[in-house]
Amino acid sequence: MAEPSQKPDPVPVAIIMGSQSDWETMSGAASVLDALGVGHDCRIVSAHRTPDRLIDFAKGAVDSGFKVIIAGAGGAAHLPGMVASMTRLPVLGVPVSSKALSGLDSLLSIVQMPGGIPVATLAIGPAGAKNAGLLAASILATNDAALAERLDAWRTAQSESVGERPV
Ligand code: RP5
């Protein structure tokens, strides 16, 4: 049993989001990582409301043992870009759908990074969150044969679940 003073084992994926309200969307990334047996840590980190938490997280992400960061935010969605500016880890941005502009604001805020600091941007909403989880797994699978097998099996099962004709 681990001593209380010991740090918990590092997990490879951080899933961060700007608000509790983003969890409904971002839980889709966590679900697919659960299905693939990929460890992850989910946190609320707001670029606007908790800027010090953002800096601590981003600057400490490498030392925390993370390999990939999934960052979801809505509206003026600075979170993925700000995190990417402070870490060399790959950042996968998920535009969360917003009430005012249905996520178009989030998408443009995340995708339009100036050259030099990349954010890999997924689709708006639940599809983007799910694909961010899958993409994180794909990245990790380049260096993890067991995960590559699980990912291949997941994709095969998905193919097999698609009927040939509509019912
Ligand atoms: C962003 O503002 C969050 O990422 C969230 O998508 C949006 C709305 O946040 P709440 O007002 O619901 O906390 O920072």
pLDDT for res 9: 80
pLDDT for res 37: 98
Domain ranges within the chain, ordered by starting residue: 13-155
CATH topology of domain 13-155: Rossmann fold (3.40.50)
155, pLDDT greater than 90: yes
Q: If you average pLDDT over residues 123-152, what whole number do you get?
A: 98
> How far does residue 154's CA lie from ligand 1's centre (Å)?
32
pLDDT for res 5: 59
Is residue 49 annotated as involved in ligand binding?
A: yes
| pLDDT tens, residue by residue, 68-124 | 999 999 999 999 999 999 999 999 999 999 999 999 999 999 999 999 999 999 999
Is residue 22 annotated as involved in ligand binding?
A: yes
Give the Cα-Cα-Cα angle 134, 18, 89 (nearest 5 degrees): 50
> How far does residue 144's CA lie from ligand 1's centre (Å)?
35
State which ligand 1 atom lies nearest to the alpha carbon of 48. 14
CB atoms within 10 A of CB 75: 19
C-beta pairs of 114-117 under 8 Å, 24+ apart in sequence: 117/81, 117/84, 117/85
Q: What is the pTM of this model?
A: 0.95
Across all residues in the chain, what is the average pLDDT? 96
ipTM confidence score: 0.97
Q: Is the CB of 109 under 6 A from ligand 1?
A: no
State which ligand 1 atom lies nearest to the alpha carbon of 96. 6
| pLDDT tens, residue by residue, 19-52 | 999 999 999 999 999 999 999 999 999 999 999 9
